[in-house]
Amino acid sequence: MDSTFPHRCVSIDLEVGKKDGRVRAFAAVRTDTDRSVIFRKGNLARALAELDEFASGADFLLGHNLIAFDLPHLATAKSDLRLLKLPAVDTLKLNPLAFPRNPYHHLVKHYQDPQLKRVSLNDPELDARLALKLFRDQWRELETVCQNAPDLTLAWHWLTTAAGDGAGVDVFSGNEATGLDAFFSALRRSRRPSAADARTAIDSLLSGNACQNHGRDVVRVSQQVGWPLAYALAWLSVSGGNSVMPPWVRHQFPEAGRLVRRLRDASCGESDCGWCRKRHDPRKELKRWFGFDDFRPEPTDKDGRRRSGDGR
C-alpha cells in the first residue's frame, strides 16, 4: 500500500442480535500494531469504552458494511464514542468499483449480501481481519485502474465524496466522505478534483459508450447522484464482458440501474447522437450481432408465406 496513505487503521466487525438489535460481540484490529480487542460477553459499556481507547489515534475506521450497519449500531449502543467521529472507509461500497467484473470478490451471501467469506460463523475478529485483507486487494486493483483509466478514478474520487449520494442523507456520510477523500487522494496522489474537472472526466468516460444527449443531462446533475453514477461508470467500464451490478447496489442505489438504462437503452431520438443512431437502429444491430443486412420479409398470408409480386 502506498506509504502516503494512513496506516493507523482500525478494522471493526460487530455481531448484533437479529431480534433486539443489541450488540452481542465485536472485535477490532489495528494495522499499526496488529493488536486486537475482542468482546464476547460481559459488560458492554466497559467493553465499548475499551474499544474507544483502543481506537484512539487511529487515522480512520474500516469495515464491511461499516456505514449502514456497524457505525449505526455502535452509535445506538453508546452515542458519545470518540471513534464515531473518525473518517470511515466501507469495503462493501468500494467492492463494485474495484471489481466490476466480479463484485463478489472474496464475498459470499451469508445473509442478504454484506458478509465476508468466513470459515466459521460468529467470529468478529476473523471478519475484521478479512475486511483488512479485502481492503488491500481493493487498493491494489484500484491502483491498476488509476494507472490505466485515470479519468475513472478521478470521477470516483469526486462522486463518492460529493454532497448527496442518491440514497438519502446518512448520519455518517461526513465520516465516509472524509475517509474516501483521504483514500482516493493517496491512490491518485492528487487532491480532490474540482467539479469542472470531474464533469469533464465523466463526459469523456461517457463519450462513445452512451447516448451523448442523455449523457449531458446526467453530467449536469452528477453531484446529486454521486454513488449511483460511480457504480454506473464502473459497470460501463467493463460492459459487454462478464460484468454484474450487485443486487444490493440496485436495491440501495436504484438510481444506478436507472442511469445505465437511460444512458444505454433509451433512445434520445436526436439525429446528432451517434450512439442512438447506431445502437437503436434495428437493422444496424441485426448486422452487428447476426451479420444480416435486413430482416426477413413479414409473411402476409395465413401459412406464413410471402405473397408474390402479383398479389397472390
Q: What is the pLDDT of residues 64-106, one digit of tens each?
A: 999 999 999 999 999 999 999 999 999 999 999 999 887 665 5
Separation of alpha carbons 232 and 218, rounded Å: 11
Quote the cell numbers at residue 52: 474507544
pTM summary value: 0.82
DSSP for 172-222, please give it: THHHHHHHHHHHHHHHHTSPPPPHHHHHHHHHHHHTTTS-HHHHHHHHHTG
Separation of alpha carbons 257 and 262, rounded Å: 9
Separation of alpha carbons 34 and 92, rounded Å: 22
Q: How confident is the model at residue 116 (pLDDT cuts 50, 70, 90)?
A: low
The mean pLDDT value for 198-218 works out to: 89
Alpha-carbon dihedral 7, 10, 13, 14, rounded to 10 degrees: -170
User: Residue 210 has what pLDDT?
Assistant: 84
Which CA distances in Å does 13 have to 8, 54, 93, 118, 215? Answer: 17, 14, 15, 13, 39
State whether residue 60 is helix, strand or coil.
Answer: strand
Taking alpha carbons only, the member of 160, 89, 123 closest to residue 13 is 123
- As beta bridge partners, residue 26 has 14, 39
Residue 285 pLDDT > 60: no
Helix axes 195-206, 212-220, angle to 10 degrees: 160
Separation of alpha carbons 152 and 263, rounded Å: 17
Q: Can you state the percent helix, strand and coil of the chain, rounding each to 5?
A: 50, 10, 40
Domains of the chain: 9-190 (3.30.420), 269-297 (no CATH)
The mean pLDDT value for 190-205 works out to: 94
